[in-house]
Structure 1
């Protein structure tokens, strides 16, 4: 679906107006692509989150107030965009209330009828990456595009490895689609948050695995055990640091990551490779992923490159940053 098609515009209007009953989290204003350079506004259930690099102007405040009235939002939070987020304390990275009433420490939002726990008090992110909504839906519906399913339903319950799992939203969608999931992350706190997301959706976390540890280290361990998965998910941060594997930089290391992950994909299984590093061009990202797959002796037999969701439009002054590559390997 093209972002400029009438059906796409209608779907976007429905989502942003609050008339989409199954989803109450989305981006309302996406910077210059929506005519508001430097202004980003997200809906998180009954609250709005505003992000800017600089203090809000009077015009921006009026626009946000209008959105709040239209959506009957209880409160509005503001967060300063920070390119050095890795060096910022949780208290400074967290959003602050600027309008209305304060949100609970944790609250729920709905996406495609699934429930997720969110918070404005846990640092730079709220617990759900809104730009990954379409990928979550592809997992939930077991359909990447017509004729291209994620899982072969004729082979029993699929096995999914979700690396850099964060709060495990992709694992929740895979589990609701019938898969047995393994969520791997370097944070015990976020893995427990993920378990709570499972419980919110009537999924027993005891039926799934949650592994605390370094992704590169654990992929080696799983390979030595002979583990094979129907789907391996890669959605790493642009930068991360681990005592075990050191500094990870997506622009430098994604090919190596893709190769390690490909070794764990069963024959005719899937690799989902995602990257939000704006400095990594889509063509370079694809080349890195393909090289990593090739270096471990695997071959791509089917692939799909996804666009950003409708509420993250691309424009001349708001280039695409999210890269999503679905690949079936021999």
Structure 2
């Protein structure tokens, strides 16, 4: 994609933006909200028509794209929302809209068998025949979405925030899947706000700002702070300058807090005039710690003191 521009009335959504996706690689796409990531992907998906620019897919210059024509060209999109029918079987979900059969008759057995072959070939995964989508884990549903694209001979996969609802174990499993697809020659675009994931997974990362691409770098050779600086056009330290403050006595004291299956032996203090942040991937326990502080969950052990009580 070269020189892509798009305006919505007075609003400049894209201005001479470029995006290059190489076969057999994983490209990260990052930028602040409003940077143009969603718009350029919608242009690639045939949802939005650009005002100018060129799109070349597998060496062929294409125009007047539609979602159907893009799919025929081998470009498939895995959206953050899992667009699957909950009561469908895995085979039905994989081949929805491309059913296997003879004439007007659909062969569910053939679809289940073919879906099972694809799952085993690409992911080493085996699911009982007839398993319903609603009975799968979130990560397994994501794999079914990817399998659906592979069944249509996808050469490019675009994943929009695919880890947003996954716990760490599921994220690691998904990354293994994407690396395997990359090694099979498929081009992957990975859109995420989690810079640690970009660093861990991607071969290159394209940074967007104010509707255009401002650079493509190797995330393993480029410090995260430098990538963020490209996104915001200034040093991270300028956004959050350190300030000297006088802290008071501890207001909240937590010691040896635990909740089975969520966290163990957690301890920290929060002093007057202090901001303490919690962060972590889904399933890390950060959310459950705060829920225990507010009484939404009951800790199984430990102590919480507020102003010494």
Could you state the TM-score of these two structures normalised by the residue count of structure 2?
A: 0.31
Could you state the TM-score of these two structures normalised by the residue count of structure 1?
A: 0.29
Of structures 1 and 2, the one with the larger relative CO (CA 8 A, separation 6+) is 2
